Amino acid sequence: MIISFTLNGRSRTVEIEPSTLVADLLRENLNLTGTHVGCDTSQCGACVVLFDGEAVKSCTLLAPMLDGGTLTTIEGLSGPGGSNALHPMQEAFHQNHGLQCGFCTPGMVMTAVALATNNPTPTEAEVRRGLEGNICRCTGYQNIVASVLAGAAAMHAPGSGE
Amino acid sequence: MRSFAFHRPTTLYEMSALLGGVADSMPLAGGMTLLPTIKQRLAAPAALIDLSNIPQLHGISAQADVLTVGAMTRHVDVAESELVRSKIPLLASLAAGIGDPAVRNRGTIGGSVANNDPSADYPAAVLALDATVVTDRREIAAVAFFRGLFETALEPGEIITAVRFPVPSAGGYAKFKSPASRYAVVGVCVAKKAGKVRVAVTGAGPGVFRVAVMEAALERTFTPDAIAAIKLGAENLSSDIHADAEYRAHLVTVMAKAAVKSALQTS
Ligand SMILES: Cc1cc2nc3c(=O)[nH]c(=O)nc-3n(C[C@H](O)[C@H](O)[C@H](O)COP(=O)(O)OP(=O)(O)OC[C@H]3O[C@@H](n4cnc5c(N)ncnc54)[C@H](O)[C@@H]3O)c2cc1C
Ligand code: FES
Ligand code: FES
């Protein structure tokens, strides 16, 4: 079947098998390997992308559902205006040492962007609850939570353009 | 994944024709249970019938003291609905406690009730609130709907269209959750209406069930203390890596007391 959707700001039309998962479409067909797949049970959150602005697990979303919608992946966050600049949430992860091996990071960042968009001034408890679907095997979460708090503040700082 | 066909009907009529006419077809709601099941090869449908574009399955409405939630209403929508919060607050907080944000952005009440996972949250509320499961063919009372481990009264090709909840005078839900998935190790929903009390337990056994002795005690005195001394036997309860049957029996009493406490605070 043929589906059309907006991917990271660009409209795309692709031919897919109906049984294709969005995570596989991104990684295998579109070479967008920033979205990671860490489990088979929809529990780890490494694959989180934004679908119509909401955080979803791309390993548990069928590609046919994308038709007519808008998808943002980790690759779509950086480079506003064609620059290489990091998104404020990515910058906050960098500054706060919010990653070690980096495997969970794309999902953490996408979940965090959705969280901070819905709730511009989250508390630490709200950040921890919001990240319940994202597993990190390295950091112990302290620096991730610090990153998300800093990233949320930066996203909504005057002049940040968000 | 194994390949399958995909259909997206826009009317109930078209949907029924597909479910009846396409061999080995299954309805797809949020996919948060069905897609992992297919990935693990525990199901191998030849076609998925996507329910997301059928307008009758969406939306939340209230009439007098009945709240109707369309089958395709997502957990996030129930959690954030002002109507649900004002009519049946326990339902909004139950939905807010399911899984994680990404699960709540896709998972639906219809999918959860149809699936009848022994650790799912909604079945406890459906049973305790004496809700009616509305399908494309008939209306089924909650007591007749849940039939044990992943079993329901639904016939092949029959679809839940909505769940109708009578608004209780007081109600609460409390769960001891698995820290990994947030599924209920034990969850208890308590609801009171017109002098009658219902206590429904999920997570503890092979399917959701009521606890008549607690209901009778709470009909006499609606306080946590009224049930503090009531403990279930462990015989029919589940044992797994999360908790053994003895511990689950203990948790039923603890969660039931917490549910009553929450009912008293929100009523
Ligand atoms: C990581 C994770 C954590 C979770 N945590 C929890 C939790 O804490 N508590 C909890 O209760 N649940 C939890 N869930 C399950 C979640 O709530 C699912 O969304 C739900 O069980 C299934 O709903 P769905 O809309 O995704 O249905 P689907 O997966 O699309 O469908 C499930 C089944 O129901 C059938 N079906 C779907 N809709 C209908 C309908 N309207 N009529 C008839 N049959 C239908 C499908 O054919 C399928 O067999 C979790 C899931 C995941 C992946
Ligand atoms: S890959 Fe683990 S939740 Fe999607
Ligand atoms: S940084 Fe390694 S899994 Fe999170």
Interatomic CA distance for residues A12 and A29, integer angstroms? 12
Closest partner CB to B105 (pick from A45, A54, A132): A54
Q: Are A18 and B32 within 8 A, CB to CB?
A: no
Tell me which residue in A19, A54, A114 faces B3 most closely, judged by beta carbons: A19
Query: Which residues between 9 and 38 in chain A have a beta carbon less than 8 angstroms from any beta carbon of chain B?
Result: 17-21
Report whether B127 contacts B142 (CB < 8 A).
yes
pLDDT at B180: 85
Q: Which CATH code of 1.20.1300.10, 3.30.43.10, 3.40.50.300, 1.20.1050.10 fits the domain covering B5-50? A: 3.30.43.10
Ligand number with the minimum distance to the CA of A55:
2
Adjacency order of strands within the sheet including B66-70? B60-63, B66-70, B160-166, B132-135, B139-141
User: Where are chain A's structural domains?
Assistant: 2-76, 80-155
Residues 6+ apart with CB under 8 A from A18: A1, A62, A63, A64, B3, B4, B5, B6, B48
Of all residues in chain A, the one with the smallest CA distance to B96 is A129
CATH architecture of A80-155: Orthogonal Bundle (1.10)
Average pLDDT over residues B257-265: 97
Position A161 scores a pLDDT of 55
Average pLDDT over residues B70-85: 98
DSSP chain B: ----EEE--SSHHHHHHHHHHSTTEEEESS-TTHHHHHHTTS---SEEEE-TT-GGG--EEEETTEEEEETT-BHHHHHH-HHHHHH-HHHHHHHHTSS-HHHHTT-BHHHHHHHT-TT-SHHHHHHHTT-EEEESS-EEEHHHHB-STT-BSPPTT--EEEEEEEPPSEEEEEEEE-TTT--EEEEEEEEEETTEEEEEEESSSSS-EE-HHHHHHHHH--SGGGGTT----STTS--SSS--HHHHHHHHHHHHHHHHHHHHHH-
Residue A39: nearest ligand to its CA?
Answer: 2
What local confidence, expressed as pLDDT, does residue A83 receive?
75
Tell if the CB–CB gap between A61 and B6 is shorter than 8 Å: no
Residues lower than pLDDT 50 in chain A:
162
**Residue in B closest to A50 by C-alpha:** B102
Both tokens of residue B222? 């609606």
Do the Cβ atoms of B4 and A18 come within 8 Å?
A: yes
Q: Which of B105, B263, B103 is nearest to B190 (CA)?
A: B263
Q: From the list B2, B4, B101, which residue is nearest A130 (CB)? A: B101
Predicted pLDDT of residue A49: 98
pLDDT digit string, tens, across residues A29-61: 999 999 999 999 999 999 999 999 999 999 999
Domain B58-266: which CATH number of 3.30.465.10, 3.30.70.20, 1.10.260.40, 3.40.50.300: 3.30.465.10
The superfamily in CATH containing domain A2-76 is Beta-grasp domain (3.10.20.30)
The structural domains of chain B, with segments of one domain joined by +, span: 5-50, 58-266
Burial of B139 from C-beta contacts in 10 A (0-12 / 13-18 / 19+): exposed
Instruction: Name the percent of chain B lying above pLDDT 70.
Output: 100
pLDDT confidence of residue A80: 62
CA A79 – ligand 2 centroid, Å: 26
Q: Specify the ligand 1 atom closest to the Cα of A133.
A: 1
Nearest-CA residue for atom 14 of ligand 1: B99
**B21: Cα separation from own chain's centroid:** 29
